[in-house]
Structure 1
Amino acid sequence: MSKRSFKGNDSINKKKKLKGTKKIIISDISKIQHLETSCIILKNLAFDNEPICSVTLSNLNIYCCLTCGKYFRGKNFESPAYQHALQNFNHKLFVKMCNDTDNYNTVHQFITLPDMELIDASKSKLLTIIQNNINPKAITINTIENKECFDFINKKKYITGCVPLTNEQGMDHVNVIIQLLSQLNEFKSFNEENNILTAATNSTCPNGSNDTSVLLQKKLLKIIRKIWNPELIKANISPIELINFLNNHYYSNQRNFASEEFLHSLNDPKSLYVWLIHHLHNKKLLTENLKGYILVTKTKIDLTNLKPIPNEKPKKFITPFYLLSVDLPKTSIFKEPITKISKNNDEEGKEENCENLLLSSLIEDKFTQPHISKDGFRCEYEIKSSPMHLLIHINRFENSTTTLKISTNLRNKKIVEFQPEMKLFKNSNNINGKNGVNYKLKCNIIYNSSDKSNTNKWSVQILTHLAKFDASPNKEEQWFEIDGLEVKKSDGVLLFLQESYFQLWERV
């Protein structure tokens, strides 16, 4: 018998032996601890990337080596994962990754290769934490709260709901929108029973055009679950899986835009937010709390004298709105210095251009002053119903598609003053049966790029509620600003001193 035929028979015998082997489950705590200390290197683990085999580029039946952090397909004989365990010393503990078709409550299997022994993860705190970092367990709205936690590697302090995202490929505008969406109760309660979002994402993808929208929703909610995870291995999260998904499934498949033009049009956080909400698979529950109603009165006028045309009756109709966009007065080319008196009487007053605008006044003007449209109509707006979550866009760019790309100097830099709590729509009649509505700021996206650089930089300020002491029912409000990977405290009264661009307000 030739050596070649002998090797072939030997491999067949090994396969039969593996198939006939019974599953062995290791539940002994001492053995599990030995595997943890000898096989797991936490600094190499990053479960933010899409699980794709590093050898075959397949995304099916993927296992992650807990020593080097690489992904491999399969566990059977001659599979990449099996061969990796044979060729590398102590690379024998693997965890099975979830696919896009798996639901949120999938239990991840820990296995040793080439021994084919299953590990009882319930006996190990470390394995449970690893499992929760791959796919965090269900979190109900009642248990979601801001907590001071420490990551598992460096014992670095972080706050749940206020976790920084790494800036992948210059996509910081994606990061701030993810942070804003993570503050919405509809996204935070994704695992509640009878939740429409959960029902949609836990279901298998239907055939047709909705496949991509379901996957988009699952990947977005996966990042939000990690932001609220109190057991992170590292105190930061990468959105690279979502960004790659958008690039591969949306940006490259657009027919109405040139590739560069479409990519750049989403560099504006407001445009990205509108696009993202529109492309989610099931947005009924989300849009109900973001939707308000406006009464529009359109009167045909003569553009020469701006007077109503005789015998033309005004048209009235009610339309929904999902965000309010306010325009800032254009900056004059002639600077008008305003003398600012110093607190110290010995010092002379300095001349500064410090024109301030009130956000509440800008919004009231939008609904009290008529607007003339280009097609010859005088439009008057009146709020009929205010949304639970109000999104306000402060338009600092005349054309976000081109202005953001050409120069940051063309933006409107005026300070828009506001308080963390304010009453809006005071002049609207019988809105929700009240004279005005009280709103509280929850999230503030700011533009803080240097004028000397043509690159954009977005950061976000988030309101948190932290307990003063452990197990204390009293919560203390504290603002934090996330700038890249840096998280620092902010003064809520002085938030308006920066260039606010997109805000999330909650009705109180």
Structure 2
Amino acid sequence: MVSKQTSLIHSHGSTSTHLRFPLSPALSPVTLLPATPSPPPYPPDPLSSLLATDSVADHPVSQMEDSKTTPTFVKTPSTRFYWCILLSDWHQPSCVKDMKSKREREADTVIVSEDGASDSDPKRQKVISRSSLSSSSPPPASENSLLPGFNYGDEDEDEENRPPVNGLTKRNGVPEVEEYDDDDDDYPLDQGGQVKRSRDIEIRRDCPYLDTVNRQVLDFDFEKFCSVSLSNLNVYACLVCGKYYQGRGRKSHAYTHSLEAGHHVFINLQTEKVYCLPDGYEISDPSLDDIRHVLNPRFTQEQVEQLDKNKLWSRALDGSDYLPGMVGLNNIKETDFVNVTIQSLMRVTPLRNFFLIPKNYQHCKSPLVHRYGELTRKIWHTRNFKGQVSPHEFLQAVMKASKKRFRIGAQSDPVEFMSWLLNTLHSDLRNSKKNSSIIYDCFQGELEVVKETPNKSITEKKEDGEELDGVTQHNGIFTETYRMPFLMLGLDLPPPPLFQDVMEKNIIPQVPLFNILKKFDGEMITEVVRPRIARMRYRVTRLPQYIILHMRRFTKNNFFVEKNPTLVNFPVKNLELKDYIPLPTPKENERLRSKYDLIANIVHDGKPGEGSYRVFVQRKSEESWYAMQDLHVEETLPQMVALSETYMQIYEQQQQ
């Protein structure tokens, strides 16, 4: 089998070089002819050096073996020679090729000078086919710039399969450096003591983009999620537009935003460091400290102790004045039951002081505890950019912890939410050894319960295997006495009258608070139907520092919910419980503290199942009262507090 050959002809002046080398049978011969002899301005490439070594006689064009050729003009990067590559139609059947005579093949090839005249200038000639004369311009060199016979794909595969050198892979002979999107500044050491990956961050004070920071649009109350990827890892806030983006590497969303929008100043919501993108350096400027304080409010122990003595107002960026601790809470959607509960708990001084210092609960892993502490610090912060706070992050933690029992968009009972919140915070903060927490220290009291049940109920209990302590039997009635802790006391309101008055209007009854407190004097009997029929008597054996009272205004039957409109008359100051509730004798060198002052009063307005909640709270520094409903905060008279349909109250024990 005769192997095909490729002839490369290179002529320079009067000398010609000819080189023959075997070619694969699947490929056609290639003939390269120079067009313009010109000295190379750059060092010759290896192919030119190879062609210049062998010198043979000129090879005529008419001796080519192929019938039809397609010219492609190539200009090599190392020389200024124009080459004409004649690629034969190798896929044409051999029977068709044999039908053409040698003279016809010679006639198909014409030598045309570069200026259009045939054989006018033998020094500058191109070999083209007759079919290509109709085209106005030759095809571009980039279409067939690769020489046939060379497998370029194999070289790329060899480079990809080649093992990396010093941890770097090569592409076309050039080492590739991997780009990292990680924005960590410090990297740990490996076992050999060498740094795995280090990147020094430049720290500058003179950033030219600090004047673009817009504090009016900054809002750190919402969840720290990237606005593009919805990820909560490595989230940065743009200090120009206020949006959240992830990362600061070259492929990150924050980097892309800095190039597209021209916003260059970003703050890390976790580390509170400020960076300039896309330059990547860290900005160290004291003028940004106010933004850090708004992002993460911080208090010292001295500042916490002076909160109840502060009478100064604070000013927001828009010029409005607000009282620290008396800021409005945004009602996201039917979340007023959460707002009134939070505003009431903000008046409990030990609980507030505990959550104002994050070191007190840094060991806790509950998101609900940290979100509640963050919300507490924002409410009492004196350097806020605006006079309101959005409890969005706290509500998200509540929805997750309660398994959507309390959620955004659904109205709920503030008494149920208060009970769930206090018990959940206690379970997250309690000490495993003492089973105590700041919640129990503030709100936990103790009751003595005497339960009288008929004979049948006791028999059922014994069959269930329950243990009964202090059980006595008299005339077929079993009496059980035990003690139980409590966080709040429920008071029963008298039923409203069924008839109307002379003016055909509904009568709104009124009842003193002392009458409904008789439920806990140890003598008044309360009938209980569920879970079993029993007669209960309650007596308070230990008073808490803060006592929570709630009036049972809503009763639910098989058809609908009814609201009791009875008004409760209660004192705002000096509620003496020992005159109405028998209290235990204090120990030696101890004083019986039975006087309480009202600090929060939650009110329900409207029909059952609808309506809204608002709260009256007291500011201790001035002993003034404020009515708060979501974002509306206004000062009111103490006499107006008792004229509303109270639903839940918090009393503080007098320490003097």
Same fold (TM over 0.5): yes
Equivalent residue letter for 2:527: I
- Seen in structure 2, the aligned counterparts of structure 1 residues 147 and 115 have a Cα distance that, compared at 3 Å, is farther
Answering whether residue 511 of structure 2 is matched by residue 357 of structure 1, we say yes
Answering whether residue 337 of structure 2 is matched by residue 165 of structure 1, we say no
Whether the 8 Å contact between 2:224 and 2:244 is mirrored in structure 1 is yes
Q: Which residue number corresponds to residue 446 of structure 1?
A: 603
Q: Which residue number corresponds to residue 563 of structure 2?
A: 411
What is the CA distance between 1:463 and its match in structure 2?
A: 0.4
- 1:26 corresponds, among 204, 211, 214, to 204
SS at match of 1:111: strand
Q: Which residue number corresponds to residue 333 of structure 1?
A: 498
d(CA) in 2 for partners of 1:142 and 1:484? 27
Q: Which residue number corresponds to residue 442 of structure 2?
A: 289
- 2:527 corresponds, among 369, 372, 377, to 372
d(CA) in 1 for partners of 2:333 and 2:395? 9
What is the CA distance between 1:301 and its match in structure 2?
A: 5.7
User: Which stretches in structure 1 are left out of the alignment for 5+ residues?
Assistant: 99-106, 206-213, 339-349, 467-475
Give CA-to-partner distance per residue, 1:83-127, whole Å, 9 cap, x none.
1111112x11111112xxxxxxxx511111112222224x22xx2
Q: Report 1:169-180 matches (<5 A).
A: 169-180=333-344
- 2:239 corresponds, among 47, 56, 66, to 66
What is the CA distance between 1:419 and its match in structure 2?
A: 1.5
Give CA-to-partner distance per residue, 1:290-323, whole Å, 9 cap, x none.
11111122334699xxxx9427564322211110
Q: Which residue number corresponds to residue 370 of structure 2?
A: 218
Answering whether residue 532 of structure 2 is matched by residue 393 of structure 1, we say no
d(CA) in 2 for partners of 1:483 and 1:25? 46
User: Which stretches in structure 2 are left out of the alignment for 5+ residues?
Assistant: 1-76, 78-141, 143-169, 184-196, 431-436, 457-472
Q: Structure 1 vs Structure 2: percent identity of aligned residues?
A: 24
- Seen in structure 2, the aligned counterparts of structure 1 residues 221 and 10 have a Cα distance that, compared at 3 Å, is farther
Answering whether residue 410 of structure 2 is matched by residue 269 of structure 1, we say no
What is the CA distance between 1:192 and its match in structure 2?
A: 7.3
Equivalent residue letter for 1:64: A
SS at match of 1:398: strand
What is the CA distance between 1:14 and its match in structure 2?
A: 7.9
- Seen in structure 2, the aligned counterparts of structure 1 residues 458 and 192 have a Cα distance that, compared at 3 Å, is closer
Q: Which residue number corresponds to residue 635 of structure 2?
A: 489
Q: Report 1:111-190 matches (<5 A).
A: 111-121=275-285, 123-124=286-287, 127-140=288-301, 141-145=304-308, 147-190=311-354
SS at match of 2:579: coil
- 2:266 corresponds, among 87, 90, 94, to 94
SS at match of 1:225: helix
What is the CA distance between 1:198 and its match in structure 2?
A: 4.4
Answering whether residue 214 of structure 2 is matched by residue 41 of structure 1, we say yes
Whether the 8 Å contact between 1:186 and 1:286 is mirrored in structure 2 is no
Give CA-to-partner distance per residue, 1:140-168, whole Å, 9 cap, x none.
34133354433432121111111110101
d(CA) in 2 for partners of 1:293 and 1:263? 36
SS at match of 2:313: strand
What is the CA distance between 1:465 and its match in structure 2?
A: 2.6
TM (norm. structure 2) is: 0.60
Larger RCO, structures 1/2 (Cα 8 Å, 6+ apart): 1
What is the CA distance between 1:13 and its match in structure 2?
A: 8.7
d(CA) in 1 for partners of 2:577 and 2:215? 49
- Seen in structure 2, the aligned counterparts of structure 1 residues 83 and 166 have a Cα distance that, compared at 3 Å, is same
d(CA) in 2 for partners of 1:159 and 1:321? 33
SS at match of 1:190: helix
Answering whether residue 474 of structure 2 is matched by residue 322 of structure 1, we say no
What is the CA distance between 1:221 and its match in structure 2?
A: 1.4
What is the CA distance between 1:185 and its match in structure 2?
A: 2.5
- Seen in structure 2, the aligned counterparts of structure 1 residues 397 and 480 have a Cα distance that, compared at 3 Å, is same
Which structure: larger Rg? 2
Provide the aligned length of Structure 1 versus Structure 2.
438
d(CA) in 2 for partners of 1:371 and 1:435? 28
Whether the 8 Å contact between 1:481 and 1:490 is mirrored in structure 2 is yes
RMSD: 3.5
Equivalent residue letter for 2:204: I
Equivalent residue letter for 2:317: I
Equivalent residue letter for 2:269: M
d(CA) in 2 for partners of 1:6 and 1:83? 27
- Seen in structure 2, the aligned counterparts of structure 1 residues 506 and 10 have a Cα distance that, compared at 3 Å, is farther
Q: Which residue number corresponds to residue 424 of structure 1?
A: 577
- Seen in structure 2, the aligned counterparts of structure 1 residues 147 and 47 have a Cα distance that, compared at 3 Å, is farther
Whether the 8 Å contact between 2:336 and 2:613 is mirrored in structure 1 is yes
- Seen in structure 2, the aligned counterparts of structure 1 residues 198 and 329 have a Cα distance that, compared at 3 Å, is farther
Whether the 8 Å contact between 1:384 and 1:432 is mirrored in structure 2 is no
Give CA-to-partner distance per residue, 1:469-496, whole Å, 9 cap, x none.
xxxxxxx210001122111111113311
Answering whether residue 478 of structure 2 is matched by residue 478 of structure 1, we say no
What is the CA distance between 1:384 and its match in structure 2?
A: 0.9
d(CA) in 1 for partners of 2:491 and 2:516? 7
TM (norm. structure 1) is: 0.77
Equivalent residue letter for 2:226: C
Whether the 8 Å contact between 2:334 and 2:409 is mirrored in structure 1 is no
Whether the 8 Å contact between 1:364 and 1:424 is mirrored in structure 2 is no
d(CA) in 1 for partners of 2:518 and 2:312? 39
Q: Report 1:188-267 matches (<5 A).
A: 188-190=352-354, 198-200=359-361, 202-203=362-363, 205=365, 214-248=366-400, 250-252=402-404, 267=412
Whether the 8 Å contact between 2:340 and 2:629 is mirrored in structure 1 is no
Q: Which residue number corresponds to residue 347 of structure 1?
A: none
Give CA-to-partner distance per residue, 1:326-380, whole Å, 9 cap, x none.
1111112212459xxxxxxxxxxx9883421111221124424122333454322
Give CA-to-partner distance per residue, 1:432-463, whole Å, 9 cap, x none.
537781111111111123x4x96331111110
d(CA) in 2 for partners of 1:230 and 1:432? 44
Whether the 8 Å contact between 1:425 and 1:436 is mirrored in structure 2 is no
Q: Which residue number corresponds to residue 346 of structure 1?
A: none
d(CA) in 2 for partners of 1:92 and 1:108? 16
Answering whether residue 612 of structure 2 is matched by residue 457 of structure 1, we say yes
- Seen in structure 2, the aligned counterparts of structure 1 residues 6 and 271 have a Cα distance that, compared at 3 Å, is same
Equivalent residue letter for 1:94: F
d(CA) in 2 for partners of 1:43 and 1:180? 29
Q: Which residue number corresponds to residue 345 of structure 1?
A: none
d(CA) in 1 for partners of 2:264 and 2:311? 35
- Seen in structure 2, the aligned counterparts of structure 1 residues 94 and 285 have a Cα distance that, compared at 3 Å, is same
Whether the 8 Å contact between 1:423 and 1:436 is mirrored in structure 2 is no
d(CA) in 2 for partners of 1:435 and 1:360? 19
Whether the 8 Å contact between 1:297 and 1:315 is mirrored in structure 2 is yes
d(CA) in 2 for partners of 1:47 and 1:435? 46
Equivalent residue letter for 1:25: I
Equivalent residue letter for 2:257: H
